[in-house]
Amino acid sequence: MSDQTMRSEMYAAPKANIERESDGYDETSMFNPKGRAGRIKYIGYVVGFSMLVGFLFSIIAGVVGASGSFPVEGGDEVAGFTIAMILAYILVLIPIFIFGIRRFHDFNASGWWIVTTIIPFVGIIPGLIMTFMPGTAGSNRFGNPPTPPSKLMSVLIIGLFLIFIIGIIAAVAIPAYNDYIQAAGAAG
């Protein structure tokens, strides 16, 4: 190496490997609160999990209703069934809170914001934020970006979301329509 080359390297700008892991994706499980979750995956997991649990609760309630009792020592079947359903509901909230924590992490916010979702009426705002706010581009303090959803997953999740919304509308509209038909029949 010549003297001239050595001097030019000595006064050159320092070279360092400062690449971040931005080319990787967050591969952690959705049931792990550490990591990030994108909008589509968040909506899919929350709606899908809620529908699955609602289906299971319906089966349990149907079996208990068909049997006519819920075995509890002391004899108060209704109180025992209510306590069991409340405990099951609390167990259901844990994964949904984990999904929310991951969603808050996606736009570089603390997962503790999930606590605001349980405040009556105020909880709608963080729910809307988690549903519609885009995540941070690239890595943030909570890790690499979430894996982008496949086209099939996006279509399935949007379909689940639409089924969920149609179910809510039907739950309100069908009884109202039946009341209207009964009122029209009584008037005519």
Residue 126: HSE in the Cβ half-sphere, 13 Å Cα cutoff: 21
pLDDT-based confidence at residue 21 (cuts at 50, 70, 90): very low
Taking Cα atoms as reference points, which of 105, 128, 109 lies closest to residue 37? 105
In 23-177, beta strands by DSSP E? none
Res 71: pLDDT: 56
Tokens for 142, please give them.
């909570």
Residue with tokens 């729910």: 127
Distance between CA atoms of 34 and 26, rounded to whole angstroms? 10
The better pLDDT of the pair 170, 56 is held by: 170
Tokens for 36, please give them.
């990030």
Tokens for 159, please give them.
């379909």
The better pLDDT of the pair 130, 8 is held by: 130
Taking Cα atoms as reference points, which of 185, 165, 184, 162 lies closest to residue 173? 165
The angle subtended at Cα 164 by Cα 95 and Cα 25, nearest 5°, is 45
Res 148: pLDDT: 86
Summarised one tens digit per residue, pLDDT across range 58-104 is 887 777 777 665 555 555 566 767 777 788 788 888 999 999 999 99
